Structure 1
């Protein structure tokens, strides 16, 4: 008689370890009728060999056997990396509490009295095989997830390396261009110095055009104010000299006061105009730099941002039409929203109009009770059908030769989805303009949850 026997094909395999052939036969027939495969071993040593060969789903282990007993056999299984997770149910006629505790201490998951009640035995077998199968499935899924995570991490690392290489390529191309023109190098150095003082983060890159446009507008009132101040100073010197020489006539004094009032009014008006322009710049810069969440009126804020962009629009010959509902209260991030509008304007200026001027329209409407629909459209050149699916991809541009990085629309998508918690859709046809539709909630999600 062999000490162990291989199973025939069928359902899950159960290894029966018992030194009584009659007991083995009864359990084999009952379990096989229930749809299980069975194999058996008549002692502990044979059971260890058999378990390694067939890797059963469960072991029914007699405690009292010749050679190593069931407790020792189970203990050896639990130290074997291949066998340690296989559930073991002890079959014993030992009814004392210490034997039961010892069964659990060596790694058993259950025990039944011997001879076992076959119905009870089958119920416990089914339960523990189901649990074992579930555990193995979860372990396999976990391993698959870990492999997927490793693959994704490798892909992300490759993407980071690719991005870094692209950034290095862009830097090398920029350096090549700059090296051919000392004047351009000096200009870029001055711009970098100004940007370091004004732009507090990478999200402020688009503020450069706003600063330049408003600075140009500020020059006019400041120039007028300076001229008025200079003229007023000359008049005061003249009057002071006449007073010292006792030559000041009443009519000349009245004329001085009249001219002085005009010059003072001119100074006041033009300084106020310059202050308003700088206040507009400061408000926009503060929102862009802080990136903080706050409550604000969306329609009013859109108008403020577009007002700060007016010098840029005016210089580019672009007419901006704003149709924004004034009743939309937001609890969100105005800084990223300002950058989105700035990038959309810059993108239209560079791509839609190509420096020839045109018209943009911004429409803002509530969407249901909790969301907002913002549509930015232009009447420019439109986008080629082959390029439209790629407009949101990082580094995609049709104007790389003109110095475009291809990050503008991708930054817009990232801000809308990751910060504002919304979505973006771009529609366009060549020669018929472009429409960018943004939808996002009135109450922005917490950072990192979008």
Structure 2
């Protein structure tokens, strides 16, 4: 029942695959009959223990350096090196410093002796004669702790392997995006050449028309030329700008080591959406170009400037128009004109964008809904209230909303960082305050109180 070695674990045993994970326990006593009795008692508990016996403190030290144990049950009174001295040496070694030690003794029932053992690193005592119920209870605790730790280690190893695979996929994606970018640059060059050629042709045509039609037809021709050039050029420039900005943020995410599965999935979705945008944007080219340009300039730089709050909120809603339509979300902006801030519009746009994303993913649950954004000037402060009519948040969960990596949709588009970023931007960059109020079935209300002039 008691061996001097630990059998190698089969594949998957650490993660709990193929049955309960065996728990190695080291028994230390200079008397074999005591070891046999203790091993027999532990074997009757059916706790999945793998018992290893040592008949001296020196042997216990050697075994602890070669194997990992969940618990040491050690006699105190042993010749040559007693249990106290053995515990001292175990605590001095970094490899065994955290190894739980339970002293088994018949002669240290007094508190002063027990305190001395605790000072040397003992976690508990078992007084002979040993009560089986007490022994089972204490050993069970350490078995559960050991299995839990090994299970967590397995999860870490599994996640590390997943991240490595994602990194390889990301490398391939980066190479593909670079090739796409090069292709786009070539298309832009060809477009410029065609525009130059067509401009020359139109210029010669215009000269002939001016001679024959006089100045009366010049305005219509110029308008037609401008319209003809603006449509393809506007579409191509919109896609090029969107892909360049998104690719830059994506590459920065990779460089910062913040890549997650949801970020990668969102990047792929964004690139596909950008490709489809060229076919759908003919009627809205000018509006989308202006809105995207304003949002892109603010969010890719940490510049401070004076801006109109309503215009900034409208810009971000225009940029998110496709996502809002796909999610069947209606937006209402009730911010009066003329409310201006001297602050960081990029941070405010990021806050609004994250709140909208949170509503789409968690609040509406694919069923659509309505988002209302109110605003008002309160002296030297600007108060913005963001509301949705989604499913709401349970009161006992509201204090966790701003915690990093807290999400109810892990692996379904939620990284757990959206509201954490909202909190940090509001308190850090914008130097304001944020409050959240919600009831189940009644949506969410988020109130931002921001200084109209951000502190220097």
Shorter-chain TM-score tier: 0.3 to 0.5
**Structure of greater Rg:** 1
For normalisation by structure 1, the TM-score amounts to 0.45
